[in-house]
């Protein structure tokens, strides 16, 4: 593989309400669908050979816009789901902070730490890396993965070979923003991070 685009879904109902959605399924807002349309025009210009999406509807509905733009079918893979946030799922940021003071900064700063009953960023990145390896082995050179902010923030430094201690430098992406990695001499290099379509 020569180029990998990691694309976050458009704004969802939970994003708009500042709720921790994790693997709960929430739909796109009107704003999220507009974001997907703008981004899809940019990503189609990269001529992806395959588009793979998380099975959560906010990602699938975002990726479907790119599928229409490019005329290519979607592949769905549940390993591209967002981090399972355990008992935090469905709560607002304020509710989490009230019940687990300091929990959100700890979670963001330690990739080996998981919310109660949830996944670590290291675990999420590991399952996503399996998808990349399989696409690479299948001979794809240019792929788009439509997925989630937490997954992208873990998968990116994993593919770059960075130590886990440095992962918190990669913060979450904005809705419908994307990251581009290119590979040269078998090493992944970061081409762009948190890129967005022009308004």
- Exposed / middle / buried, residue 157 (Cβ in 10 Å: 0-12, 13-18, 19+): buried
Q: What is the extent of the structural domain holding 146?
A: 3-195
Q: Catalytic site residue 84?
A: no
pLDDT of residue 26: 93
Which residue in the list 9, 84, 148, 177 is annotated as catalytic? 9
Structure tokens at 37: 């349309």
- C-alpha to C-alpha distance for 25 and 61, rounded to whole angstroms: 12
Q: What is the number of domains present in the chain? A: 1
* Beta-carbon contacts of residue 106 (< 8 Å; ≥ 6 apart): 113
We report the CATH number of the domain holding residue 55 as 3.40.50.1240
Please list the rounded mean pLDDT of every run of 10 residues in the chain (199 residues).
97 95 96 97 95 98 96 95 97 96 96 97 98 97 97 98 96 95 94 89
Which pLDDT does position 184 carry in this prediction? 86
d(CA 137, CA 140): 8
Q: Among this protein's residues, is 82 annotated catalytic?
A: yes
Selected catalytic residue, list 2, 49, 69, 82: 82
């Amino acid at each position: 593989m020569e180029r990998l685009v990691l694309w976050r879904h458009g704004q969802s109902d939970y994003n708009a309400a500042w709720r921790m959605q994790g693997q709960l399924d929430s739909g796109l807002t009107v704003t999220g669908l507009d974001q997907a349309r703008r981004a899809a025009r940019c990503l189609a210009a990269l001529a992806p050979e395959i588009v793979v999406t998380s099975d959560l509807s906010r990602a699938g509905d975002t990726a479907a816009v790119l599928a229409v733009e490019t005329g290519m079918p979607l592949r769905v893979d549940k390993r591209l789901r967002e981090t399972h946030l355990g008992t935090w799922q469905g709560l607002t940021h304020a509710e989490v902070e009230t019940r687990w003071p300091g929990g959100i900064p700890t979670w963001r700063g330690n990739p080996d730490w998981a919310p109660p009953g949830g996944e670590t960023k290291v675990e999420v990145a590991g399952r996503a890396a399996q998808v990349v390896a399989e696409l690479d082995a299948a001979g794809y050179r240019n792929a788009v993965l439509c997925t989630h902010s937490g997954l992208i923030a873990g998968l990116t430094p994993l593919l770059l070979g960075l130590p886990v201690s440095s992962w918190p430098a990669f913060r979450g992406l904005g809705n419908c923003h994307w990251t581009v990695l290119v590979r040269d001499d078998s090493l992944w290099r970061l081409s762009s991070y948190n890129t967005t379509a022009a308004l």
